[in-house]
């Protein structure tokens, strides 16, 4: 699977998870506001009802009616909290599955990056060995060039000697032909060495670009990992608030039970 395709899928899943979290947060905020409004309204109604009933009934009857009405309100709130908790657990399961998939994708991408780095190091090593071979060949060519220069100088010296000898004219022509072949060989070797150097320069440029792309992908993975950790902390905070609300409901139930006794 292509690395960029993996990154695109991971980004899409991240966006979906953010939308799910935002929807859940909006739902919790709305339900929490409704819960607070209901408590305030219930308190006002109970206060008004208690003040009216207190003028008509005895203390025990007022107390029983007040407790019964409070239980009904609390039971309704508890049912709503249970519904919200069920929705929260479903969303949490969905988020956990998506987080596992993202972790799996991240590990796969890291594996591909490690493989590319190994290939990159192998290519660098091969290029270094090739460069050493080229330097060795260049040294040999330099030695060959020095030898050819010495031979040219020797031929020129012998040419001067042979110029005074007409009977050695044919030998001088043969040596000139040999000299021209040596010069042609030296020129061909220099051209071959120049082409090899140009190939090495092109490969080094490609390797540098590939290394820069790998570094950029590594930074992208680190940023995504930090964002996922931040969102996990935010989810824990909302879970703690929901648990605190449920504990408050349980405490109020206990208080009503104590008052009834």
Torsion of CA 123, 128, 134, 138, to 10 degrees: 160
Cβ partners under 8 Å of residue 253, min gap 6:
74
Yes or no: say if 3 and 217 are a contact pair by the CB < 8 Å rule. Answer: yes
C-alpha 72, offset from chain centre = 52
Distance CA 155, CA 176 (A): 8
Cβ partners under 8 Å of residue 101, min gap 6:
13
The pLDDT value recorded for residue 178 is: 81
| pLDDT tens digits in sequence order for the chain, 261 residues long | 455 565 566 566 667 666 766 766 666 666 666 666 666 666 566 556 555 544 444 555 655 665 566 667 666 666 766 676 677 667 667 666 767 776 777 777 777 778 878 887 888 888 888 888 888 888 888 888 888 888 888 878 877 776 666 666 666 677 778 878 888 888 888 788 778 778 878 888 887 887 788 778 778 777 777 777 777 777 777 777 777 777 777 777 777 777 766
Yes or no: say if 28 and 238 are a contact pair by the CB < 8 Å rule. Answer: yes
The pLDDT value recorded for residue 55 is: 42
The number of domains in the chain is: 1
Q: State the residue for tokens 């993975």.
A: 221
Distance CA 91, CA 231 (A): 14
**pTM value surpassing 0.85:** no
Yes or no: say if 42 and 72 are a contact pair by the CB < 8 Å rule. Answer: no
48 is in which domain, residue-wise?
A: 3-260
């Amino acid at each position: 699977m292509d690395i960029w395709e993996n990154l695109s899928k991971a980004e899409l899943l991240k966006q979906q998870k953010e939308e799910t979290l935002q929807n859940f947060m909006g739902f919790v905020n709305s339900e929490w506001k409704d819960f607070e409004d209901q408590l305030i309204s219930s308190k006002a109604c109970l206060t008004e009802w208690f003040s009216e009933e207190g003028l008509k009934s005895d203390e025990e009857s007022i107390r029983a009616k007040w407790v019964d009405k409070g239980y009904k309100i609390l039971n309704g709130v508890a049912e709503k909290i249970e519904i919200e908790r069920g929705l929260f657990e479903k969303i949490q399961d969905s988020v956990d599955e998506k987080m596992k998939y993202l972790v799996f994708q991240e590990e796969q991408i890291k594996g591909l990056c490690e493989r590319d780095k190994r290939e990159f190091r192998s290519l660098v090593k091969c290029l270094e060995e090739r460069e050493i071979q080229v330097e060795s060949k260049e040294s040999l060519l330099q030695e060959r060039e020095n030898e050819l220069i010495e031979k040219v100088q020797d031929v020129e010296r012998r040419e001067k000697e042979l110029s005074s000898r007409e009977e050695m004219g044919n030998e001088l022509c043969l040596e000139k032909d040999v000299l021209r072949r040596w010069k042609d060989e030296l020129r061909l070797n220099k051209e071959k060495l120049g082409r090899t150097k140009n190939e090495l320069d092109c490969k080094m440029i490609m390797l540098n670009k590939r290394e820069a792309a790998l570094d950029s992908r590594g930074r992208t993975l680190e940023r995504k990992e930090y964002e996922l950790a931040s969102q996990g902390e935010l989810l824990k905070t909302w879970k703690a608030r929901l648990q605190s609300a449920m504990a408050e409901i349980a405490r109020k139930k206990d208080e009503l039970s104590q008052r009834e006794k």
